[in-house]
Structure 1
């Protein structure tokens, strides 16, 4: 067994195996979906646009990585928002992979983070339930509704692209 671990230039462990559209590792040498670069600092609008593109393409695992970058690089007062969005994307990932119990749990947890953020007193939202153009109330409803379906006895995997939420308030872009 080869115990050599993949390392980045700083020596941190990184899994260099190719991944499929749902982030599952594939055998070395297999064609895979290009990974999202880590540590990219984007504006909130760029984050929402890129995450929506990935969600629409049925790649919620990759959208999660975009949200994770925003969570780690954004202002501390927005941590709950970006963490919640990352957990929604991971919940959708697990639901699409067939881990419906884990998917439902992560969808509910993400909805809780977003709901908590949306109701922070004194935080000036653009409009009730919205920040950075995100329809927070609709995202919480989407997550809870999907969690109820995938958490039901006998539920099977979902189609990630078909189940992808609309992040922005208003018509699809």
Structure 2
């Protein structure tokens, strides 16, 4: 359980590790202590790849790409070494959308491109363009197109309207 440590002013978990316990909004931005926030994703959850994709899609559809990034990050940390590039790339795509929705076009575009590159690299190395029901080619195109748009227009994007479809049936 997260707790406030009054000695150094940092939030720490029961084992003494630094953990930010501040509530967060739907895009993962910290809110003041005591404010009503969006429930955070639990950390360190081991899910099947299919559960990861389904949960991340539900979060993306709800306009919570930061939370989807946390789900992908759990997969990145818990899946076999041969899959980590894929899950890291998906986490970067989700956090890139987060930054674009927060009004940070430079960071959003950079992370979207980095994520698209990682996903494309993984698909090329493994020869698996459709793992776990995901069309990686469609996700790479989505990430690159959104990165170009965000960089060109420097506009904040609507995370629901621009959420990718992980299942490969198009992007939002």
Superposed displacement of residue 169, structure 1: 2.7
In structure 2, the gaps of 5 or more residues are 1-5
After TM superposition, list the pairs within 5 Å mapping 1:26-105 onto structure 2.
26-105=31-110
After TM superposition, list the pairs within 5 Å mapping 1:1-173 onto structure 2.
3-120=8-125, 123=126, 125=128, 129-152=129-152, 154-170=153-169
Runs of 4+ in 1 over 6 A off after TM superposition: none
Evaluate the alpha carbon distance shift between residue 171 and residue 142 of structure 1 in structure 2; reply closer, same or farther with a 3 A threshold.
Answer: closer
Alignment partners' CA distance in 2, 1:119 and 1:171: 20
Contact 2:139 2:168 in 1 (8 A): no
Superposed displacement of residue 10, structure 1: 1.2
Query: What's the TM-score, normalizing by structure 2?
Result: 0.92
Alignment partners' CA distance in 1, 2:133 and 2:168: 6
Evaluate the alpha carbon distance shift between residue 150 and residue 124 of structure 1 in structure 2; reply closer, same or farther with a 3 A threshold.
Answer: closer
RMSD: 1.4
In structure 1, the gaps of 5 or more residues are none
Higher relative contact order (CA 8 A, sep 6+): 1
Query: What's the TM-score, normalizing by structure 1?
Result: 0.92
Aligned residues: 165
